[in-house]
Amino acid sequence: MRSAEDIGSPVLEDQILKADRHRRLRRVIILSVIVVAAIGFLLYKGLGSALDYYETVNQAVAARSQLGSSTFRMEGKVVPGSIHPFRGGVDFIIEHGGVSERVVQEGAPPQLFQPSIDVVVVGHFQGNYFLSNRLMVKHSAYYIPEKSTSRQASGKLR
């Protein structure tokens, strides 16, 4: 049997301290795993939605039955002579890889929208056309100024 002296003994206190340390360590490890998993999940979801994927016109038309009425991005070049503005939007044709698709854009197009420019439209197939609610013009990251006049080229104002 244990005596009253054994209960307060250094050996027993050491065992209790080790058990407490072990419990605390286990809690810290479990909490760390939960935090790391949560951060990993948030990064996965955040980066997954941040990456912009799009189908080219020929890919989208080929996968039309699989895409159905789901919303996706489609890229192509605006066919010259196909732009027809209407009240509330614009109707035009885009093509890529020898395949073309009619696009009905709801809302005004961006200022840079013009024939023979690459665009990305966001929307879904509806009947015999692609219904878009967002139109983005693809452009280069470089600014190319128009040809300068002699006054600008010399750097002097007359």
Is the confidence at residue 150, as pLDDT, over 60? no
- 57, exposed or middle or buried, with CB in 10 Å at 0-12, 13-18, 19+? buried
Angle at 102 between CA 109 and CA 87, to 5 degrees: 45
Distance CA 149, CA 145 (A): 11
Residues 45 and 66 in one domain: no
Judge whether 62 lies within some domain. Answer: yes
Report yes or no on 147 lying in a domain: no
Whether the per-residue pLDDT at 99 is higher than 80: the answer is yes
Average pLDDT of the chain is 83
**Domains: count for the chain:** 2
- Containing domain of residue 41, as a range? 4-49
Q: Where are the beta strands (DSSP E) in 5-49?
A: none
- Helix, strand, coil percentages in the chain from 3-state DSSP, rounded to 5: 40, 30, 35
85 or 18: which leads in pLDDT: 85
Same domain, 15 and 76: no
Least confident of 18-27, 51-60, 117-126, 140-149: 140-149
Rounded distance, CA 38 to CA 61, Å? 38
Residues 70 and 30 in one domain: no
CATH number of the domain bearing residue 62: 2.40.50.140
